[in-house]
Structures are given as C-alpha cells and as structure tokens.
C-alpha cells in the first residue's frame, strides 16, 4: 500500500511539472515572425550602429504587383518614426524594359525629382495604360515635374547614373531579391511574398517587427510608432504575388 501511495504521488508530481512547463511555454511564446519562414537573413550582412534602420523597397515600374503595393507602402512610410529611413531601389533582372525604367528612376533620383514623380509614373503606366518605350518619352514625362527633357536624357547617359545603377543592382544581388516587391530591412533581412507572407499587410508587419529587432540589437530605444505602424491602406489586403 505504501509503495502504491509513493507511486501515486510521483505520478501527480510529474503531471504538475508537465502542466507547469506547459503554462510557462504559453506564457513565453516565441517571436511573432520567424527567420526562414517570414523573412530571410542576408548572409554576411554588416553590423549596423547609430540607432537608425534603413528599409529598401526593391521594385520595378514594370511590375504590376509593385503598382498594387504602392498605396500600402505610401501609407506605411507616412507614419515611420525618425529612426527609420526609407529608400527605393529599381531592379533590372536582365530585362530591357525594366532596365529602361530603372535608369529613368535613378536619373530622376539624382536630379531630385524621383519621389515627387513616383506615384504619377505608376498611375500613368497602370491606371492610364500609357507605356513609354524610350528614354526620350520618359524625359517628356519627367519634364512635367521640374526638369528639362534634354537635360534628363543627357543625365541618363552619365557616369553618375551608370555607377548608381551598378550599386543598386549589387544591393539587389547581395540581398538575394528574386521577386518584386521585396523589402530589405537594415541590410540584414529580406522580406518577400510567400505562403507565410500572403498579403501586403503581413509583409509590412514583418518589416515593422524587424525594425524593432534591429533597433534593439543596436541598443537603441524602439519608438512606439514602429510597432503601431499599420499597413492597412485599403479595406482588403491584396494577396502578395511576385514578378
């Protein structure tokens, strides 16, 4: 009888321990998003300091999904905290039409009008269905945003634009970008559409999470707006698809 009581107490103790472990696991869940599922760690990424994070959108004007993504990223970046810098890098992927528009964006960037003209060019292509097939035609478009068309064409053929194009495509290759739109966070993480990142709201929420991770790794204070920043630019989240 004594041995049975001891055995019973042992079983009860084991059950209590198992329950306690389960409660601890529930009380300490893992990270909201996981490497290899929701984002990719970029190999040999440099250590960042200074309490700042740069988020890069890899995009193309020729990508219909980038056009769909535009209102989401526009809404999102309007609420970015001061600790976050946002920039765009146009990808080429060896496609002639993509290279033309990438060169036009870099030219506009160096001439200080890229952001001012960005949404208008997306709208012209995807809402008005007006595709420009030469740099001269693109220069005419950009001339409505404060530059002289001839100067735009000349700048597009400059060494400065060539060099910036090479640097941008190196960023794309180093990060392992294979589709657009994709987002690079802090030169460390790549966020792209996948089964786990199935719409643009989720994509930008993963980016917000990684901004917090990167700032925490730098020992910087995480602004409240980084975790509160919502990507909801439209009532229904668009499904992510990559070009």
pLDDT at 182 (0 to 100) = 98
- Is residue 174 situated within a structural domain? yes
- d(CA 201, CA 77) in angstroms, rounded, equals 13
- d(CA 38, CA 161) in angstroms, rounded, equals 34
pLDDT at 28 (0 to 100) = 54
Q: Are residues 2 and 72 in the same domain?
A: no
- Beta-carbon contacts of 73 under 8 Å, excluding residues fewer than 6 positions away, are 57, 181, 204
Q: What angle do CA 124, 129, 135 make, to 5 degrees?
A: 60
User: 215 to each of 18, 38, 144, how far by Cα in Å?
Assistant: 36, 19, 39
Q: Peptide bond before 73: cis, by omega within 30 degrees of 0? A: no
- Is residue 45 situated within a structural domain? yes
- d(CA 8, CA 10) in angstroms, rounded, equals 5
pLDDT at 29 (0 to 100) = 61
- Number of CB atoms found within 10 A of residue 138's CB: 24
- d(CA 110, CA 98) in angstroms, rounded, equals 18
pLDDT (tens digit per residue) in 44-74 = 887 877 889 999 999 999 999 999 999 999 9
pLDDT at 11 (0 to 100) = 41
pLDDT at 31 (0 to 100) = 85
pLDDT at 15 (0 to 100) = 40
For residue 220, give both structure tokens: 């910087």
- Is residue 129 situated within a structural domain? yes
Q: Are residues 126 and 160 in the same domain?
A: yes
pLDDT at 40 (0 to 100) = 97
CB 203 within 8 A of CB 189: no
Q: Are residues 76 and 10 in the same domain?
A: no
The number of folded domains in the chain is 2
Q: Which residues of the chain have pLDDT under 70?
A: 1-29, 220-221, 223-243
- Is residue 235 situated within a structural domain? no
Q: Are residues 17 and 51 in the same domain?
A: no
pLDDT at 23 (0 to 100) = 35
- Number of CB atoms found within 10 A of residue 124's CB: 16
pLDDT at 130 (0 to 100) = 96
- Is residue 238 situated within a structural domain? no
């Amino acid at each position: 009888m004594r041995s049975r009581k001891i055995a019973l107490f042992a079983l009860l103790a084991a059950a209590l321990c198992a329950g306690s472990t389960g409660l601890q696991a529930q009380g300490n869940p893992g990270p909201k998003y996981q490497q290899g599922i929701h984002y990719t760690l970029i190999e040999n990424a440099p250590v960042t300091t200074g309490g700042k994070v740069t988020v890069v959108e890899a995009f193309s004007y020729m990508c219909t999904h980038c056009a769909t993504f535009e209102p989401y990223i526009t809404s999102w970046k309007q609420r970015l905290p001061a600790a976050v810098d946002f920039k765009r890098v146009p990808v080429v992927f060896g496609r002639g039409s993509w290279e033309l528009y990438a060169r036009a964006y870099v030219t506009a960037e160096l001439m200080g009008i890229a952001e001012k003209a960005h949404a208008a060019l997306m709208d012209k292509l995807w809402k008005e269905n007006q595709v420009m097939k030469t740099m001269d035609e693109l220069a005419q478009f950009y001339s409505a945003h404060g530059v002289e068309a001839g100067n735009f064409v000349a700048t597009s053929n400059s060494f400065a634009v060539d060099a910036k194009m090479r640097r941008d495509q190196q960023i794309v290759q180093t990060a392992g970008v294979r589709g657009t739109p994709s987002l690079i966070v802090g030169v460390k993480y790549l966020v792209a559409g996948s089964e786990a990142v199935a719409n643009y709201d989720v994509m930008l929420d993963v980016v917000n999470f990684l901004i917090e991770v990167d700032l925490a790794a730098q020992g910087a204070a995480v602004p409240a707006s980084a975790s509160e920043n919502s990507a909801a630019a439209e009532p229904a989240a668009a499904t992510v698809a990559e070009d």
